[in-house]
Amino acid sequence: MQDMSRATSEKSHSEPRPKVVKIDPSNADYTPLLSGPPETATMRSGSVVLLSGQSVGKHSTGEYEEAIVVLAGTGEMRLSDGGTLQLERHSVAYCPPATEHDVVNIGTEPLRYVYVVAKAR
């Protein structure tokens, strides 16, 4: 019986496990939250703070899909096709795989959000 218990314990260390990650409200830039495998199956996430006028820079989601959960401030997700998604407190924006985009703070207060990306296929 103890051998089975040990095998289960060893297996659980190589696979994702339930956890809570606290977001530091004093963060003034970028903080990784979940770093991907083996911590998660495919998901990565981070906490981002952009000051007025700042952007994260144009990038592509590649083979990942992305959700942005806005905690404070106002901004835009600018898509390479010219489209724009308005970001405001308590909103969630979705960006599909292979989509080039940028996130820009268009307000006067810091834009605080959490992004979550996961492999789509």
Q: Is residue 68 part of a domain?
A: yes
Domain CATH for 95: 2.60.120.10
pLDDT band at 28 (very low <50, low <70, confident <90, very high): confident
pLDDT tens per residue across span 42-97: 999 999 999 999 999 999 999 999 999 999 999 999 999 999 999 999 999 999 99
In the structure, what pLDDT confidence band is assigned to residue 8 with cuts at 50, 70 and 90? very low
7 within some domain:
no
42 occurs within a structural domain: yes
Query: Burial level of 95, CB count in 10 A (0-12/13-18/19+)?
Result: buried
Residue 107 included in any domain:
yes
Give yes or no for residue 15 having a pLDDT over 60. yes
Domain that holds residue 43: 21-119
- Within a domain: residue 9? no
Instruction: Decide if 11 is inside a domain.
Output: no
Domain count, the chain: 1
Is 51 part of any domain?
yes
Per-residue model confidence as pLDDT tens digits over 105-121 = 999 999 999 999 999 97
In a domain, 16, yes or no: no
- Tell me the pLDDT tens digit for each residue of 97-106: 999 999 999 9
Please state the pTM of the whole predicted model: 0.85
Q: 1 pLDDT exceeds 70?
A: no
Which structure tokens are listed for 39? 């911590």
